[in-house]
Structure 1
Amino acid sequence: MSATKLLVLGIVHLSGGAHGYQVRSELQNWRAEIWAKIKPGSIYHALKKAAADGLLTEHAEPGNSGPERVLYRVTAQGRDEIVELVRDGLRRTHDPTMLDASIAMLPMLTRADAIAHINERVARLEAELVHQAKWREHPDRDIPEHVRDQAELWAGHARTELEWAKRLSKRLSEGAYTMADDPGSWRTAPDPLQMRF
């Protein structure tokens, strides 16, 4: 649910406000049903739950020759929740769906914040690999051989993820992406709700 919540809040925020159908369409364009395992019904549930929790506001709008539609906008509390979810997804290992959602919303963090949480992930992966290596050197005799092979598979995944995380941290340090504290980011762009015409 956290990945769905993060992506739904993030899409609404980055859109400046969106209807449920817009959120669903955007996530389908991102193919989130594959990498985040999001079902269409869970999108609408996440929108309603986030509104009930004060993370979104709801604004009824007349539909185009149809029923009323609800426009959702992210609240300040919702923006804070997005940032916390991205941080958590970056540092938490063994949750690839949440990692994918966090990478999709990475520009919600400042550059230093993103680097710090990715580096925390690096440290956790390194510690887990050390622990795994010790276990493989002296496995419990009662553990079947195929389970030890499974541990080798996990270690391979972890090594690949570790190298990827180090590269991402380096790229961010070198200025990749427009992050929350960069000119042109969601934080530095004028808020359409505050603009006067």
Structure 2
Amino acid sequence: MSSIRVFLLGALAERGPMHGHQLRLLAEKEHVHMWTDFRVGAIYGTLNRLLSEELVEPVRTEREGARPERQIVRITEAGRSSLDDLRLETLAEFSLKPDPFDLALARVGKDLVDELPRLLRGRRASIAATAEHHAVRLEQVDQYLTITEQHVLRHQTHRLRAELEWLDTVLADLPAIVDDEKTRETD
């Protein structure tokens, strides 16, 4: 599943022809960085791929004043079909992506085992700060969001809380984890 494709094709299907800068401004306005897995700067490369795959097509070019010429694109029938498929796939399937943190924790090794308490407490502080920032941001934009968008952002809130709760259990077991790692290294 590609969230950036869902965003771009969906925006063109819902709002009509646009150029890359308009799509970027829309992504910034909708704060997609808060609830998707792509960055706004990735829009241009993905838009070029959608053009090469004929999921979008050029309509015309525009120039405002001394600004560079911009290509206006619209979604094609193939793009609408692809968007429908992407939405269905995304809404129907659950995706649990492996977190590289888990592998690093499981294989911390003797060189870092003594650093583990500091590293995990730092990670927890970082996640807590992210959760706090997210809560403040949600409060600021909540009144401008649709009901669905409110649920989407609250999903992030629940995921951050769950991560903190889980990390607290790891921190509670930290002495046993450190002892286990040291014992395993000597075996």
Q: Where is the helix percentage greater, Structure 1 or Structure 2? A: 2
Tell me which structure has the larger Cα radius of gyration.
2
